């Protein structure tokens, strides 16, 4: 049995936000005052998450990604990884993390069954990083990257949200990082998600600038469509480089036609799309695997053909203040 939506897209990928808590306050994820946190009583327990994982696996879910907030701030996260790894049919478990705590947990995560990590890192300049994350320590993230490589949590992907006037000057440093280390550095277009974001038009920067800057520095990028685990990324290799460069265009070249993912929020809501605000409570189905299975299939049948994150494409009356922010959805 498999999960297909109304447009024939097969879904085998479930992203699970385990918490809305985070040890950073990144400017594109939340406002300066942070976000109103979900009550601990409303956060799904691990045994509840596992019910959804088992039901999903029976329907063809093979890939799980743990997100947040910051997943490593949730207590006993290693135990959850171990439980997921034991579910028949689950072939790949990954995690998106800001890397602050990764050096502490990398070895245990690998032992528990985690396959790979995506590390969010938007600047290699310590002051720009501190400002962008509102207080983060760059050295902790760099130590986390080294630990992930040492523990073979590969491919290690470094996610860079490109922001005009904030970290665009870091592009050469990230190109060099991919040249020097076996990392998959992926530049991601800035996305207008959540009610904190009122300056999207000023921050948005098309990713063509990456190719132009690489060429100007004689670091010609060669297309590499067969790159491992590329997903929606448009991949390139560097001349004699150890790593790769990826460009992810959710705005200018959206990849909705190949979307294969569902999302489960920390407070127990299934979302068929990061952008659209339809949310379906899973709690009424808990305790009944057949009911969870039916819900997963029903949710997919409501999935739209594409998002409208590009403001020029927006129709209807969806307003930013109605949108669930990234910290409460999971990346």
Whether 327 shows a pLDDT value over 70: the answer reads no
Average pLDDT over residues 95-119: 98
Average pLDDT along the chain: 87
| Residue corresponding to tokens 């999935």 | 303
**CA nearest to 214, candidates 194, 236, 199:** 236
In contact, 251 and 207? CB cutoff 8 Å: no
**CA nearest to 159, candidates 140, 172, 178:** 178
CA distance 105 to 317: 44
CA distance 178 to 256: 27
Average pLDDT over residues 135-144: 97
Percent of the chain predicted with pLDDT > 70: 84
Whether 304 shows a pLDDT value over 80: the answer reads yes
More confident residue, 299 or 201: 299
pTM for the full predicted model = 0.90
Average pLDDT over residues 299-307: 82
> Which DSSP helix (H) or strand (E) runs through 195?
none
pLDDT value for 320: 46
Whether 259 shows a pLDDT value over 80: the answer reads yes
In contact, 21 and 77? CB cutoff 8 Å: no
More confident residue, 198 or 167: 167
pLDDT value for 198: 54
**CA nearest to 299, candidates 310, 287, 291, 288:** 291
Structure tokens at 244: 């790769």
Q: Where are the domains positioned within the chain?
A: 3-329
CATH class label, 3-329: alpha beta
In contact, 122 and 131? CB cutoff 8 Å: no
């Amino acid at each position: 049995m498999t999960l297909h939506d109304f447009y024939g897209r097969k879904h085998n990928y479930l992203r699970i936000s385990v918490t809305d808590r985070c040890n950073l306050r990144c400017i594109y994820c939340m406002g300066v005052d942070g976000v109103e946190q979900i009550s601990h009583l409303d956060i799904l327990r691990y045994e509840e998450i596992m019910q959804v994982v088992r039901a999903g696996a029976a329907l063809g879910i093979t890939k799980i990604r743990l997100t947040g907030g910051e997943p490593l701030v949730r207590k006993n996260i290693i135990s959850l990884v171990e439980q997921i790894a034991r579910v028949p049919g689950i072939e790949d478990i990954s995690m998106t993390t800001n890397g602050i705590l990764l050096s502490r947990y990398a070895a245990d995560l690998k032992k528990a069954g985690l396959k790979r990590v995506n590390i969010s890192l938007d600047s290699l300049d310590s002051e720009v990083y501190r400002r962008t994350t509102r207080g983060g320590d760059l050295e902790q993230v760099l130590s986390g990257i080294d630990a992930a490589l040492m523990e073979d949590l590969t491919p290690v992907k470094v996610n860079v949200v490109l922001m005009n006037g904030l970290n665009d000057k870091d592009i050469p440093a990230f190109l060099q990082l991919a040249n020097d280390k076996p990392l998959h550095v992926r530049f991601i277009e800035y996305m207008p998600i959540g009610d904190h974001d009122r300056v999207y038009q000023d921050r948005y920067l098309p990713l063509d600038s990456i190719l132009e800057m690489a060429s100007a520095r004689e670091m010609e990028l060669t297309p590499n469509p067969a790159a491992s685990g590329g997903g929606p990324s448009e991949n390139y290799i560097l001349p004699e480089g150890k790593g790769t460069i990826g460009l992810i265009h959710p705005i200018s070249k959206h990849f909705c036609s190949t979307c294969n993912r569902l999302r489960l929020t920390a407070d127990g809501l299934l979302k068929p799309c990061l952008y659209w605000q339809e949310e379906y409570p899973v709690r009424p189905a808990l305790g009944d695997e057949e009911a969870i299975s039916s819900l997963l299939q029903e949710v997919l049948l409501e999935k739209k053909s594409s998002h409208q994150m590009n403001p020029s494409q927006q129709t209807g009356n969806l307003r930013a203040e109605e949108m669930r922010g990234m910290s409460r959805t999971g990346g």
